Structure 1
């Protein structure tokens, strides 16, 4: 039963993505003269993404702590990463951030094209030149007032365990003196684990925006990084 439902769900996504993409192009064209940061396009993309959770009768998604995120001004948002579903679930924050995501996704028809249209940031893991380009692009975005969203683990956890955090997000926060917002993503790993495309039973997922961390309150990058990781780990543990 779940296998048949999964096939139907992915077919539904494949059919609707071109339609949503056409809408994204229209929004981008109409908003370009007065919205150079592409905030409206990102919000449209957020509705596009989250609709695939809203329309799934097996999944429930809640967001808490959203009000802590300032609507204006740069920030670094970091979240744990357990599933492909994390990406669409985090759009439910409805905040005008720019994604940092692996380059391969930017080649996916319609979805990847829309990511390029939004001005999200591509990264090829393990490629030093790509990392330097990603950091430089994030520098420009933060300087222009755009928040950025990253997965500091770098890739999805294979077993649900929170992995070691990489330095990039925290280097950016310290260099620009902007707050880091830890975000705990609950329940998505059970919805769609790293290996496999078969959807699971009823899932109650939650996005929990945690209090901001000020880089100036920590003596070095490692202190900020580990405090962020500890905040997310504590929130995940508290949820059981």
Structure 2
């Protein structure tokens, strides 16, 4: 498959990893983490029993912040082992010509302000990425469900902001046509990224996590490239 970076991909505030020869690359976990987030969201949404199990877990009296993401993942994958035999390269190499340094805003979707911007490397381009899975069609369904939900939620904050009309409305339409959409890399610095996205509208869960773990799972802060007028990390995997 080919990775098409429709909007800039960021790995970290320090830039991309490089091998001993200085070649920039994205590590395997960038893709497995993104696919896992989609799978968690999709199957919690799809299966009421799974939703209730995860909800009961999150509403327990004691939660260990270090274990939450792993435990939720295990609950979902125990029932739907769709990540088994997923094969991806350990490193996906990037061309230097496709890497630039840009100013990146940490954009507050609620207040419409840059809270703590920084400069870092971004990647925009196309690169080949071998991927194999016996569950590829299920993964496509999961990634579509998650990416489209994420885009709609972010758009809901920006309906009266120019970015809503200029970027998010076209993005939401385009995502439906992508073969396997993902949100990869550093697109937010919020804990759990989108792993608990399904529960952001369920008040009791949201308030419990805010009180117990001091974490707001509402998708409020995203990374934004002001020069390009795009939020980061939106890619497609396409044959």
Q: TM-score range by the shorter chain?
A: under 0.3
| TM-score, normalised via structure 2 length | 0.26
Structure with greater proportional strand content: 2
